[in-house]
Amino acid sequence: MSTHTIPVVDLSRFTTGDDRSKQQFVEELGKAFEDVGFVSVKNHGVSQELVDSYYKAIQNFFSLPTEAKRKYEVPGLAGQRGYTSFGKEQAKGFDSPDLKEFWQMGQTVEDGDPIKAEYPDNVSVKDIAGFDEQGRELYKSFEKCGIELLRAIAIHLGIGEFYFDKYVHNGNSILRAIHYPPITQEPKNAIRAEQHEDINLITLLVGASAEGLQLLSKQDEWLDITAPEGCFVVNVGDMLQRLTNNRLKSTTHRVVNPPREKWSNPRFSIPFFTHPKGSMPLDCLNSCVDDRHPCAYEPITAGEYLDERLREIGLKK
């Protein structure tokens, strides 16, 4: 198995640099997303102290007895809020559920935006002190970073720096905390997370607690992903690939089981899925369609597409 160090970009060059630094960042990010679909981002502005404290909080949560965790599992929400128990989610096209349980929180609308009526309330955890507050703070910090990255992408696409702002402000983004428990017996078919592409615009992943993340290269080779300490791994999702008519690459990835000698080690990760409002049209951008690249997708809204994909992965009936 090969190891792949994905391109590293410095977000501070975009947020605080001069015009030349900003343009260089845009070019580096755009090239990485067209060629690989994945990038490492340093100087992203998210406090490591906040990340570490939330890691401890989610480890405490997942250590709760099963019956305590299931108090926070809400039927009818398709896993979009609260707890989702082990073995509920599967990758599109696969029958075996992934070897994981997870927690999700969504947008907290604080400015009177009527879109609040479209979102279910977040589930409050009473068993872990400070859990809700830490989650909200990390959510907002991730969201700010995601908006800056989308502004750079918009410049790269030639659609105006702030194209995504109106769609991502109070958008349907999700903060997910995932627990892959120790493997206690020979898995039949499943791995921790089967190969898939993310649904959303971009995903921000703070360093996982154990190895296992792999991407599928253009040469159909699985590569272990490595990123420098303190960096986020950021990848293109299917919504952005669709919007850009396949110009930006939503790369297939997975989380494999560790070697047998490490089966007793759990794995935790915290991805942030940057989603727009459900009303955002995902019609292919005119700037990404020409004679050599005819429009590859039918018009659909982000909300319709999300609903379709949640059914495919077994979270929605």
pLDDT at 316: 66
Where along the chain do its domains lie? 2-312
Beta bridge partners of 206: 232, 270
Q: Residue for token digits 């986020």?
A: 232
Q: What 3-state class would DSSP assign to 177?
A: strand
For 2-312, which CATH class?
Answer: mainly beta
pLDDT at residue number 303: 95
- pLDDT tens string for the chain (317 positions)? 455 678 999 999 999 999 999 999 999 999 999 998 999 999 999 999 999 999 999 999 999 999 999 999 998 887 889 999 887 765 565 656 667 899 999 999 999 999 999 999 999 999 999 999 999 999 999 999 999 999 999 999 999 999 999 999 999 999 999 998 877 666 666 655 678 889 999 999 986 544 678 888 888 888 888 788 889 999 999 999 999 999 999 989 887 777 777 777 788 889 999 999 999 999 999 999 999 999 999 999 999 999 998 888 777 66
List b or e across 43-81, with b for residues whose CB sees 16 or more CB atoms inside 10 angstroms.
ebebeeeebeebbebbeebbebeeeebeebbbeebbbbb
Residue 184 confidence (pLDDT): 67
What is the distance between the alpha carbons of residues 238 and 200, in angstroms, rounded to a whole number?
6
| Cα 14 from Cα 234, distance rounded (Å) | 16
CA 33, 272, 258, 310 torsion: positive or negative?
negative
Contact (CB, 8 A) for 175 and 102: no
